[in-house]
Structure 1
């Protein structure tokens, strides 16, 4: 069998990534399509840009709204055929609205194909234990982000080491209107939540903060998040970041014995 579009046969292109789980399922699907479905021309394609977990960029790519020719940054797609046609590992936060893509009829949601990962706010277990032993504060709970002494410890805005990681971190950052910046450029009355990609979780995280009345800013570090979290956690500094578990990159070892998940009301 062949996949046809406008009278021309085309390959079925499966979007790959560096994640082991994704690579395994993609190759299983390729075998099924070729040997059970009888399709010819099934290809697996991987670009480094596919690894960034930006869900809006992923949906734009698979639905054909954008194209990344030769793995370059995405541009509006003037053709009708997407770069990739199937993605088997699409990480979404709870409540993510897929309607803007599904309603066009250009994208089909096949539903969950396996166990879903657990997304959440994470912080170092050592810091959790320190707050409990010294202050009897349960810091791995959302209510702790209403306590000034906790907020100050988790505030990173304006710190020089953050500037070294990402000089333009203030671009697209969520600045909580409940907090003010002092003369030194610090926002000490707001904790800082770090996340990877703006398009993946911005609306959900902001609604959590505003719905719970938390004193929290958000900074998206993109590709620098993993290295930043590794460095901070291993140096026993307080940090809160948004991520998921199980994780397949260099953060995965931290989840076993160095990170705790914050409890949130949903």
Structure 2
């Protein structure tokens, strides 16, 4: 849309708190915004994926006038524990064991199936030179972690009775995961392995090595069908878990709405981006399909995104604001012509003439500067029945499938066909019964 120096910043450290996400955008340490971080002042920021703790969690931040809520992106998201589906299926069919349930993790029986060597954990939990200021730093350097791994009191580093849950960054999930483990008495330790999480899970999956990991949906890993979500107690926050002595937590992660949030000066400084982001939406099923395709594409994210944009212009074109740096909305015109292929017909030049007229309009920047005309030609032979059926087919087969992508549909009808068309009742009850708008006749 004509903007330069735009950078897409990937943030792998998923934050559970809405306040944490918005704080990164505004630079404010809290919703009162009494003080800002010097690092983020004058740094325009957009977060297209802010997970809302509750429907009103953005309200205190909106009152600071530092951000603008661009509305929901259309999906709901959820954190969770995941385990290899192949293991779930096998153990249930052989032993009747329900692996995708938290109670199976209260004893040591799963250590025989979910094994990760000490050497592998040592490598994975250590930051590489590419991701750390000092090579050798652990992703989890908290006092509660031993060599980058959290072990509950009933597990030790050399205790083979506990399985390891792989997670990304402790900044986003340490408290919740340790609370679940302690409250439910799970025989589980947690290894935070940063950006290695996805590649490690994929590599182990390819080697038929079952894995227990912490993830979220929608995501390419969890949308692949290769992993099953582990069920946890459904209960209110801080409420006791049924049948667990002394438990005060351990509840499952709730579904969360996801909104787009931006730095307020964006509204004035980059209005086209603001208008674009307001319109960007994905249905949950659509997003799951995208994530599924990405998982099996074996492309990197940039390559997949480029391919998706090239193949799905019908999805994103309606988001582009009219008048934004040469981007034009399309008007689809249905053309009803006596003939398209008979060069002996005295009227064979009508359809080419219509295309020439459309090309002339598109070439003149003073005419419909924000739109592009496109012609869909149909041969009718000037038959009333064929004319009507052609229009129905045009609207139902093309119009409905493109409904949201084109502002309106207009029809070109050759002048000798006007009387024939009127005989078929183009503006009559049949069109209304089909939910089809009246055809706009342009006589050539």
TM exceeds 0.5? yes
Distance in 2 between residues matched to 1:234 and 1:77, nearest whole Å: 44
- After superposition, residues 108-127 of structure 1 pair within 5 angstroms as 110=69, 112-127=72-87
Indicate the SS of the match to 1:178: coil
For the pair shown, the structure with the greater C-alpha radius of gyration is: 2
Q: Aligned with 2:166: secondary structure?
A: strand
Q: CA deviation at 1:233?
A: 1.4
Distance 2:125 2:63 in 1: 36
User: 1:132 maps to which residue?
Assistant: 92
- CA shift for structure 1 position 143: 0.5
Secondary structure of 1:137's counterpart equals coil
Q: Distance in 1 between matches of 2:206 and 2:77?
A: 24
2: CA distance, partners of 1:211 / 1:42 = 51
State the Cα distance separating 1:217 from its structure 2 match. 1.2
Match of 2:209 in 1: 237
Q: 1:109 to 1:236 in 2, by over 3 A?
A: farther
Distance in 2 separating the partners of 1:104 and 1:180: 48
Is 1:88 aligned to 2:48, yes or no? Answer: yes
Question: Which of residues 171, 174, 182 in structure 1 aligns to 2:150?
Answer: 174
Report matched runs for 1:22-61 at 5 Å.
Answer: 44-47=6-9, 50-55=10-15, 58-61=21-24
C-alpha displacement of 1:150 = 1.1
Question: What is the TM-score normalised by the length of structure 2?
Answer: 0.40
Corresponding residue of 1:160: 119
The separation in 2 between residues aligned to 1:193 and 1:59, in whole angstroms, is 29
Which segment drifts farther, 103-112 or 215-224? 103-112
CA contact (8 A) 1:64 1:82 kept: no
Equivalents in 2 of 1:215, 1:104: separation in Å?
Answer: 45
Label 1:80 to 1:247 Cα distance change in 2 as closer, same or farther (>3 A).
closer
Q: Which has the higher contact order (CA 8 A, sep 6+)?
A: 1
- Aligned residues: CA RMSD: 3.5
Other-structure match for 2:170: 198
CA contact (8 A) 2:28 2:37 kept: yes
d(CA) in 2 for partners of 1:211 and 1:107? 39
- In structure 1, the partner of 2:27 is 64
> CA shift at 1:213, angstroms?
1.8
Please state how far the C-alpha of 1:224 moved relative to its aligned partner: 0.6
Once residues 177 and 44 of structure 2 are traced to their aligned partners in structure 1, the CA distance between those partners, rounded to angstroms, is 28
Which residue is 1:9 aligned to? none
**Quick one: distance in 1 between partners of 2:119 and 2:40?**
46
- CA positional deviation for 1:260: 1.0
How many angstroms apart in 2 are the aligned matches of 1:265 and 1:107? 38
Secondary structure at 1:210's aligned position in 2? helix
Q: TM-score, normalised by structure 1?
A: 0.63
